[in-house]
């Protein structure tokens, strides 16, 4: 009887310590999430202003400009950039990104994949490991961005994709990542990256008479790479925040589950304890009765 | 005039200034109060923020853009290093 008691006690101890860990991890994620959200907010004015500049230039020019990065051609060679996290324990987050990437390949690029013309540029260790293990064509220079998350590092990957696109190594580039809504919600999307979608002229926008230095064409040529760098940076920041959000939710669930387990363990512990006491009492009483008898 | 200096990682400067000297790709130029609307591309070089007669701030930049509209200048750069 006391053996069973001890076993339950040990289990209670181990569940309690696990719960402490998940609770701590939740708190750490919450702090990291706040920082990740902050980075998104810091980036926003830059991104907004960049877009504004572009539309100011485009809407004041009459002719369509020819942009190398917007060159639409038959998508024979494809590059996908799935963004996952470096660490696990964040629920279905990483697997959702991987699943969506496979889905995109199956739905849109099945024939290219059959010819071996789909390449993957994973960002984040989890995706890198997965795609390498399953024999995808992996470009393995940029997966470790999250170990030192800075604009510079992200820009290297963005510049690589742009150069490869201009050199016709790839005809189409897509980013697969998770947009950040709030701590509990992630929206997994596959976003076209290259060629750049045509910039719409804003109808009815006030036409300010700008001086363009040195010229509109050069300005657009210079702006486009910057916008692409920012787009990838935003995707990486969004993913980072999403991963922390997912981890926070997962750890919260784990803590709750541990609570549930502790409750039922405590019930069985008390039951075993009570049973042991009852047997002991019966033994004493019947022993005394036998002596008197 | 109002000046904002923005990078993807954070806002470096925001405030009222007398003017700003910028390294345009075709030579250095200066934007002062009530400059006409302009969008210009910047090259490698030094950017000097002239807050008033006695106070300036200098940054080393490696390319970017400046837009001036409605007496509000926005400088967009990918990286900047403050120079003392």
Per-position pLDDT tens, chain A of length 293: 567 888 999 999 999 999 999 999 999 999 999 999 999 999 999 999 998 888 888 877 666 667 788 888 888 999 999 999 999 899 999 999 999 999 999 999 999 999 999 999 999 999 999 999 999 999 999 999 999 999 999 999 999 999 999 999 999 999 999 999 988 899 999 999 988 887 766 665 567 788 888 888 888 888 899 999 999 999 999 999 999 999 999 999 999 999 999 999 999 999 999 999 999 999 999 999 998 87
Residue A204: predicted pLDDT? 57
Higher pLDDT, B58 or A57: B58
A85 interface with B at CB cutoff 8 Å? no
Domains in chain B: ranges and CATH: 2-83 (2.60.15.10)
CB contact under 8 A, B39 and A233: no
Residue B61: predicted pLDDT? 93
Q: What is the greatest pairwise CA distance in chain A?
A: 116
Residue A218: predicted pLDDT? 87
Most B CBs within 10 A among A40, A46, A223, A229, hence the mutation to make, goes to A46
Number of domains in chain A: 1
For residues A234 and A28, give the distance between their C-alpha atoms in angstroms, rounded to a whole number.
23
> Hey, is A65 helix, strand or coil?
coil
In a domain, A260, yes or no: no
Residues of chain A with C-beta less than 8 angstroms from the C-beta of B11: 42, 45
Predicted confidence (pLDDT) at residue B83 exceeds the cutoff of 80: yes
In a domain, A286, yes or no: no
Residue A16: predicted pLDDT? 96
Q: Which residue in A90, A112, A218, A220 sits closest to A174, CA to CA?
A: A112
In a domain, A281, yes or no: no
Residue A9: predicted pLDDT? 92
Residues of chain B with C-beta less than 8 angstroms from the C-beta of A152: 79
Range of the domain at A214: 27-250
For residues A242 and A92, give the distance between their C-alpha atoms in angstroms, rounded to a whole number.
11
| Closest chain B CA to residue A44 | B8
Question: Quick one: CA torsion of A26, A32, A33, A34, rounded to 10 degrees?
Answer: 120
In a domain, A202, yes or no: yes
Q: Which residue in A97, A106, A143 sits closest to A123, CA to CA?
A: A143
Query: Which of B4, B25, B78 comes nearest A214 by C-beta?
Result: B25
Query: Which of A47, A150, A218 comes nearest B41 by C-beta?
Result: A218
Residues of chain B with C-beta less than 8 angstroms from the C-beta of A46: 6-8, 76
In a domain, A58, yes or no: yes
Residue B23 neighbours by CB distance under 10 Å: 20
Instruction: State pTM to two decimals.
Output: 0.89
Strand bridging mode B72-77 / B2-6:
parallel
What's the distance, CA A205 to chain centroid? Answer: 36
- Beta strand segments in B7-84, E: 11-16, 19-24, 27-32, 38-50, 56-69, 72-77, 80-83
Strand bridging mode B38-50 / B19-24:
antiparallel
Q: How many residues does chain A have?
A: 293
| Residue A97 belongs to domain with CATH number | 3.40.1380.10
pLDDT classification of B51: cutoffs 50, 70, 90: very high
Residues of chain A with C-beta less than 8 angstroms from the C-beta of B64: 226
Choice among A90, A120, A219, A232 that is catalytic: A90
């Amino acid at each position: 009887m006391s053996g069973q008691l001890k076993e339950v006690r040990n289990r209670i101890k181990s569940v309690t310590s696990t719960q402490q860990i998940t609770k701590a991890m939740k708190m750490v994620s919450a702090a990291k999430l706040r920082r990740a959200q902050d980075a998104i907010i810091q980036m926003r004015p830059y991104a907004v202003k960049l877009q504004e500049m572009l539309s100011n230039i485009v809407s004041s020019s009459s002719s369509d400009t020819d942009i190398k990065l917007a060159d639409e051609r038959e998508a024979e060679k494809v590059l996908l950039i799935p963004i996952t996290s470096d660490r696990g324990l964040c629920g279905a987050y990483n697997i959702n990104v991987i699943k969506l990437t496979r889905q995109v390949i199956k739905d849109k690029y099945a024939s290219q994949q059959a010819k071996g013309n789909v390449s993957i540029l994973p960002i984040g260790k989890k995706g890198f490991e997965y795609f390498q293990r399953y024999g995808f064509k992996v470009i393995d220079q940029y997966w470790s961005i999250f170990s030192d998350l800075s604009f510079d590092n992200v820009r290297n990957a963005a510049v690589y994709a742009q150069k490869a696109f201009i050199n016709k190594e790839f005809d189409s580039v897509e980013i697969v990542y998770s947009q950040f809504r709030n701590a509990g919600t992630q929206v997994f999307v596959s976003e076209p990256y290259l060629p750049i979608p045509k910039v719409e002229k804003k109808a009815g926008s006030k036409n300010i008479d700008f001086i363009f230095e040195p010229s509109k064409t050069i300005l657009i040529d210079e702006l486009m790479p910057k916008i692409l760098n920012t787009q990838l940076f935003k995707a990486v920041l969004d993913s980072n925040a999403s991963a922390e959000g997912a981890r926070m939710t997962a750890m919260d669930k784990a803590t709750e589950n541990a609570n549930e387990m502790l409750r039922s363990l405590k019930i069985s512990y008390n039951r075993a304890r009570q049973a042991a006491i009852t047997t002991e009492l019966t033994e004493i009483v019947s022993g005394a009765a036998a002596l008197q008898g | 005039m109002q000046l904002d200096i923005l990078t993807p990682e954070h806002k470096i400067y925001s405030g009222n200034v007398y003017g700003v000297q910028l390294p345009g790709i075709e030579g250095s130029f200066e934007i002062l109060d009530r400059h006409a609307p302009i969008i210009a591309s910047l090259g490698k070089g030094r950017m000097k923020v002239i807050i008033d007669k006695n106070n300036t701030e200098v940054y080393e930049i490696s390319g970017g853009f400046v837009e001036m509209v409605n007496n509000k200048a926005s400088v967009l750069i990918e990286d900047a290093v403050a120079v003392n």
